[in-house]
Amino acid sequence: MIQAFGLTSKPRKELPPAVDDVSFEARAGRITALLGASGAGKTTVLRLMLELQQGRGITHFRGRPLHRIAHPSREVGVLLGDVPGHPARTIRGHLRMLCAAAGVPVRRADEVMEAVGLVSLREERLGTLSRGMDRRLGLACVLLADPHTLVLDDPADGLSTREGAWLHGMLRAHAAQGGTVLFATSDPKGAARTADRVVTLEQGRLVADQEAAEFSRTRLRPRVAVRSPHAARLAVLLAKQARTSQLSVEVVREGGNRLSVYGGTCADIGEIAFRHGIAVHQLADEVGDMGPGAGRARASGPEDRNRVDAGRIPVTREPSPSSGAPTAPTAEPAPPLDPEAHPDAPKPVTDTPSLSFGQPQLPEGEPDELLGASSTGHPRDGSPAAAAPSQPRPPAPVRARTVRTLDVLPPLPPPISVRPAPSPLRPLRYEIRRAAGISTGFLTGAVTLAVSAVIAVVLARIGHTPQPRLLAAWPQELPLPPAALGAGLLGALAFGDEFRHPALAADRGTVPRRLGLLAAKLLVASATALVLAVLTVGCDAEALYLVYGRELAQVPADWLPLGASWIGLVVGCAWAGVLAAGVFRSTTAGLAAVGAVPLLVVPVVHKLVNGPSVRTAAGLPARLREALLPRWPFGGEHYVEAAIKVISQPVGGALTLSLTALLCAYLLTTLRSRFR
């Protein structure tokens, strides 16, 4: 069950808030439609409910706000817009990756694909799906964690009639199992056909909260809007004429001097009014699709805007002096209070009678003798007491009890703060499936190996290149070898692709900067860079052996420190790409950070190391070995000495400095977002 109380968005510059004091309920086992025209505030209401947008109000999902739920995706399934995901990823791969993010078994992906009819398309790419298949995939993502509540924003938009019927059947099946379904739509006929209850919004305000049958009767059927100072007498005459002529005509009193006539025509109503000498101030046909915005043209003044429209349930609140609502009893009855504003409030008694053929609701007496007072409260015979029967009021106990309930509520709803983005419950498994789910990584690795082999062969042909640089395919003219650039690109893709194609949840536009997710990405990037570094040296050595023989393919004598330096360089570039892409939210920025290490940072570090100074750190490795390393077993001093030599080099020092700066920036942005 969903309970929304006082949802209000932040006010805009010189404009009213997009959503103002919206409260409603969506009960379990039923489908609730949030109906409104474009710009009515439907999506804003959903985002406020899901704590994706700042504002005021509170929403309870089965008695708990969303930020109090440990795993929101297992309680609320959300689909706002299209399915986010890399267009080159397969349907099955995308769902398996989301299984790791939601912490559910991987077999759940096959179960939901079978449920939504995507088994035969499991190897199709996301970028090739039609609109209908994309909606099916979105519903599969929503159902993946088996949530109790579904929240969808216009799920049938762009679907054919057959696909829309299938989607609504799936929603009905979920509700039949005891789940709660809330979807936003701008189609009034679709809302009446699909939903059990319809909540109507106009210009960010709640104007109706009705059962689907009542909504269809009052806001979808063609009707004739009538305004007359003798509306009550005219209603009785119309009902009498319908009974005499055996016509199915329904007359609904809307309050004051207004009527809605269903099944009649302007000509017939005007003729009856003319024969009985009744003045008519408005007589207009209103046909079809009354839905949102039906009463906007008729509300011309404060009195019109405060009336109870056909099927409209006013928002429950105390009358305020600024709104123009009367604070004392007047000739026109006050509208009944909204029973849905508080769960403990009793159901009000409506004062709008329905007069129809077959079940007439006529008071005792002749039509010409009854309800003769006009809407101004002055009876035709001049006696003030005669106006009393035409002024029905809500029962006093209902009003008194509701007002006492409202007194204990806070004057303003609590503020809504944006809830943090979800983090994968199994980040390492999620990251492995994300990295291996598309061919970009494999293609990048293959191109890197091919370019390295070609460069190694060309360098050997030219000559004057040391053996270690031949095996690494690192000419003097290039700031970084191809393997380091490839590892940096793979690291940048770890965050860059996710920011362009969000994958963690369907209700998010970005990927969170969580430390657990960062550790998983750094670990996977390290493993990928390590494999790439080893394969690069092996491919270069094999290419040199095939072209020039064994002489150029020999392993150097000091292979241990050289190997450590080589692996540290490639892994460091991969980490730089990951951190830069996470900080700047861009693959290009991640690759630029990798290239900036040798181009910008290395000259600065080289100048600092070789520049004039009074004291230098010469001989630091030897002194450190003498002070600490003799006590280390198994020759640990050799590995530490190799690491110190790597860091002491200009490229190693620059890379270490860049990684430290990027890591600090990442941590700073993470802490700042959590503080907000």
The predicted pLDDT at position 323 comes to 35
The predicted pLDDT at position 318 comes to 33
Residue 3 pLDDT greater than 90, yes or no: yes
The predicted pLDDT at position 644 comes to 58
Instruction: List, in sequence order, every residue forming a beta bridge with 226; answer none if it has no partner.
Output: 259, 283
Q: Which residue has the higher pLDDT, 402 or 147?
A: 147
Which has the closest alpha carbon to 548: 470, 468, 476? Answer: 470
Which tens digit of pLDDT belongs to each residue from 293-304? Answer: 444 433 333 333
Q: How far apart are CA 20 and CA 250, in angstroms?
A: 34
The predicted pLDDT at position 371 comes to 34
Estimate the share of the chain in helix, then strand, then coil, as percent rounded to the nearest 5: 50, 15, 35
Write down the residue that tokens 């002491």 correspond to. Answer: 648
Q: Which residue has the higher pLDDT, 612 or 664?
A: 664
Q: How far apart are CA 58 and CA 5, in angstroms?
A: 5
Q: Look at 126-130, 382-386, 634-638 and tell me which has the smallest mean pLDDT.
A: 382-386
Residue 147 pLDDT greater than 90, yes or no: yes
The predicted pLDDT at position 81 comes to 83
The predicted pLDDT at position 35 comes to 93
The predicted pLDDT at position 185 comes to 94
78-93 average pLDDT score: 90
Residue 316 pLDDT greater than 70, yes or no: no
Which has the closest alpha carbon to 24: 44, 47, 43, 49? Answer: 49
Return the top range by mean pLDDT from 78-87, 215-224, 654-663.
78-87
Q: How far apart are CA 386 and CA 381, in angstroms?
A: 8
593-620 average pLDDT score: 62
Tokens of 617: 């750190």
Q: Which residue has the higher pLDDT, 355 or 221?
A: 221
Q: How far apart are CA 517 and CA 470, in angstroms?
A: 37
Are the beta carbons of 131 and 82 closer than 8 angstroms? no
Tokens of 669: 């942005």
Q: Look at 59-73, 152-166, 374-388, 543-557 and tell me which has the smallest mean pLDDT.
A: 374-388
Q: What kind and span of H or E run contains 33?
A: strand 31-35
Q: How many CB atoms lie within 10 A of CB 238?
A: 25
In order, the DSSP letters of 102-124 are HT--THHHHHHHHHHT-GGGTTS
Confidence of residue 493 (pLDDT cuts 50, 70, 90): very high
**94: which DSSP letter?**
H
CA of residue 4 relative to chain centroid, distance: 17
Q: Give the max Cα distance, the chain.
A: 123
Q: Which residue has the higher pLDDT, 308 or 136?
A: 136
Which amino acid, 541? A
Confidence of residue 25 (pLDDT cuts 50, 70, 90): very high
Q: What is the mean pLDDT of the chain?
A: 77
The strand order across the sheet containing 149-153 reads 76-80, 149-153, 180-185, 31-35, 197-202, 205-211
425-451 average pLDDT score: 94
Are the beta carbons of 415 and 54 closer than 8 angstroms? yes
Tell me the three-class secondary structure of 275-344, residue by residue.
HCCCCCCEEEEECCCCCCCCCCCCCCCHHHHCCCCCCCCCCCCCCCHHHCCCCCCCCCCCCCCCHHHCCC
Q: Which residue has the higher pLDDT, 26 or 334?
A: 26
Q: How far apart are CA 150 and CA 190, in angstroms?
A: 18
Angle (nearest 5°) at CA 74 between 72 and 76: 60
Which amino acid, 28? A
Q: How many CB atoms lie within 10 A of CB 363?
A: 12
Tell me the three-class secondary structure of 202-262, residue by residue.
ECCEEEEEEEHHHHHHHHCCCEEEEECCCHHHHHHHHHHHHHHHCCCCEEEEEECCEEEEE
Which has the closest alpha carbon to 150: 74, 59, 83, 82? Answer: 74
Q: CB-based burial of residue 389 (10 Å sphere; 0-12 exposed, 13-18 middle, 19+ buried)?
A: middle
Q: Look at 9-18, 290-299, 586-595 and tell me which has the smallest mean pLDDT.
A: 290-299
Q: How many CB atoms lie within 10 A of CB 267?
A: 10
Q: What kind and span of H or E run contains 57?
A: strand 55-61
Residue 599 pLDDT greater than 90, yes or no: no
Which has the closest alpha carbon to 477: 492, 491, 458, 494? Answer: 458
Residue 656 pLDDT greater than 50, yes or no: yes
The predicted pLDDT at position 606 comes to 57
Q: How many CB atoms lie within 10 A of CB 186?
A: 18
Which tens digit of pLDDT belongs to each residue from 360-410? Answer: 333 333 333 333 333 333 333 433 333 333 344 444 443 334 444 444 555
Which amino acid, 466? P
Which has the closest alpha carbon to 97: 453, 450, 387, 497? Answer: 497
Tokens of 15: 């404009």
Confidence of residue 27 (pLDDT cuts 50, 70, 90): very high
Residue 75 pLDDT greater than 50, yes or no: yes
Q: How far apart are CA 151 and CA 328, in angstroms?
A: 42
Which tens digit of pLDDT belongs to each residue from 554-568? Answer: 888 888 878 888 888
The predicted pLDDT at position 332 comes to 36
Are the beta carbons of 574 and 656 closer than 8 angstroms? no
Q: How far apart are CA 593 and CA 600, in angstroms?
A: 10
The dihedral through the CA atoms of 241, 243, 245, 247 has a sign that is positive
Residue 273 pLDDT greater than 80, yes or no: yes
Q: Which residue has the higher pLDDT, 200 or 507?
A: 200
The predicted pLDDT at position 146 comes to 93
163-169 average pLDDT score: 92
Residue 524 pLDDT greater than 90, yes or no: yes
Tell me the three-class secondary structure of 60-81, residue by residue.
EECCECHHHCCCHHHHEEEEEC
pTM, rounded to two decimals: 0.71
Q: How far apart are CA 327 and CA 389, in angstroms?
A: 22
Instruction: List, in sequence order, every residue forming a beta bridge with 26; answer none if it has no partner.
Output: 2
Tokens of 625: 């070995």
142-171 average pLDDT score: 92
Are the beta carbons of 92 and 120 closer than 8 angstroms? no
75-81 average pLDDT score: 91
Confidence of residue 502 (pLDDT cuts 50, 70, 90): confident
135-160 average pLDDT score: 92
Strands 223-227 and 282-286: antiparallel
Return the top range by mean pLDDT from 214-223, 317-326, 408-417.
214-223
Q: How far apart are CA 54 and CA 47, in angstroms?
A: 9
